Amino acid sequence: MFSQESIIGVVGSGAMGSGIAQVSATNNYKTIVFDTNADSLIKAKKNLSASLAKLVEKQKISELKAETIFNNITFSNTIFDLKDCSLIIEAIIENLTVKQSVFKELENLVSKDCILASNTSSLSITSIGAACNLPERVLGIHFFNPATLMPLVEIIPGIATDKKLAEACQALISSWGKIPVMAKDTPGFIVNRVARPFYSEALRIYEEQIADIATIDWAMKEFGGFKMGPFELMDLIGHDVNYVVTETVWTQFYFDPRFKPSLSQKRLLEAKFLGKKTGKGFYDYSEGAEPLLPKKDEVLGRYIFNRIICMLINEACDTANLGIASVNDIDLAMTKGVNYPKGLLMWADEIGLSNVKNTLQDLYNLYEEDRYRTCPLIKKMVNEAKTFY
């Protein structure tokens, strides 16, 4: 399906598009980055040059390799230059109407054998493909930021996608040294669906004044081994991204209370306190700001960790129960896509599914909210004394 003579196209020269192009070019594929914004292309070219120079400085690649990678990429503001591509990956704004328009335009330009892919993190691949005359060649290829460093790539066939094309893309991404996982076309796919409770349950605990943000972050790092706490991570991602993904997943799941967004986070977004990039979010990053210190109460910390991890496991189990991805791919997605210390289903075996079930039942009894309903797979596996591994 793909050979070293294949040309890879990337639509969008932002951080994601540029990163994907660098990955492709590093693997010796001629790559064309298209963007209508000439200034954005100039910036992307400068950033690529700087990125490659750093890799040479750190002795990660040779000067010759850096030159080869740079020369493998063409930056263009003429969409016609994409006409000979074998695969085009779109990495633009998360807006369905805009994406559909781009895919329509691409379809009229390329050959019938060209595969059209979207790097969307939460929009329906089937909906994007529906805008095309040949929806069977449309699929999702979702890289994680930064694309050059993060190993995980979600491959998402739409309802109409040709399975052979999805498998060919999976093989290509694997040959690029990435770890591809296959996911059904459902809101959030694997990572952005399963990870929601990491943020939402932490926000619920904070809003109910059970613990402050520094204590919640401390608990997840201290007892869970996470590199960052949920509030630190939300501030790093940016509330303009993290909140919008939460709201998109919630809306696309017909307002399922499990994915309900937080008003506290929405208010930060409205105030334009977007996190690290604006100097203020849940934490204040301005010079001289007083640091927030956690209350290192072990009992409280273990309660916080147990509550959040059980909600995460519940979501991972539901993802497996609905056949959205395999058990192995779910755990791979969470360890390689968002750097979780362990796969959630492996963690479920360690904690014990009966303990997870009891925690969820206690939460349901307390709140009487559908948000805390236990996944049927957990109940079934507990009754049958089964484990995931």
Query: In the predicted model, what is the mean pLDDT of the chain?
Result: 97
Mean pLDDT of 96-105: 97
Mean pLDDT of 137-148: 96
Mean pLDDT of 297-320: 98
Mean pLDDT of 28-50: 97
Q: Is the pLDDT of residue 48 over 90?
A: yes
The CATH homologous superfamily of the domain defined by 7-182: NAD(P)-binding Rossmann-like Domain (3.40.50.720)
Mean pLDDT of 24-42: 97
The pLDDT > 70 percentage for the chain reads 100
Chain region(s) in the chain for CATH 1.10.1040.50: 193-383
SS3 (DSSP) at 335: helix
Chain region(s) in the chain for CATH 3.40.50.720: 7-182
The pLDDT > 90 percentage for the chain reads 98
| Strand 138-143 versus strand 152-157 pairing type | antiparallel
* Dihedral over Cα of 197, 251, 15, 7: its sign: positive
Q: What is the DSSP string of 210-242?
A: SS-HHHHHHHHHHTT--SS-HHHHHHHH-HHHH
Could you tell me which residues are beta bridge partners of residue 8? 31, 87
Q: pLDDT for 338-352, tens place per residue?
A: 999 999 999 999 999
pLDDT at position 131: 96
Query: Residue 323's CB: how many other CB atoms inside 10 A?
Result: 9
| Strand 30-34 versus strand 152-157 pairing type | unpaired
pLDDT at position 122: 83
pLDDT at position 22: 98
Q: Is the pLDDT of residue 55 over 90?
A: yes
348 contacts 316 by C-beta, under 8 angstroms: yes
Q: pLDDT for 215-268, tens place per residue?
A: 999 999 999 999 999 999 999 999 999 999 999 999 999 999 999 999 999 999
193-383 maps to which CATH number?
Answer: 1.10.1040.50
Q: Is the pLDDT of residue 92 over 90?
A: yes
pLDDT at position 1: 82
How much is the pTM? 0.94
Mean pLDDT of 284-300: 96
Q: Please give the C-alpha separations between residue 102 and each of 10, 155, 158, in angstroms, as whole numbers.
A: 12, 20, 17
Q: Is the pLDDT of residue 168 over 90?
A: yes
Q: Is the pLDDT of residue 9 over 90?
A: yes
**pLDDT band, very low/low/confident/very high, at 152 (cuts 50, 70, 90):** very high
Q: Is the pLDDT of residue 269 over 90?
A: yes
| Token code pair at residue 133 | 């005359």
Q: Where in the sequence numbering do the catalytic residues fall? A: 121, 142, 154, 192
Q: Please give the C-alpha separations between residue 175 and each of 65, 225, 361, in angstroms, as whole numbers.
A: 18, 31, 44
pLDDT at position 36: 96
Q: pLDDT for 312-368, tens place per residue?
A: 999 999 999 999 999 999 999 999 999 999 999 999 999 999 999 999 999 999 999
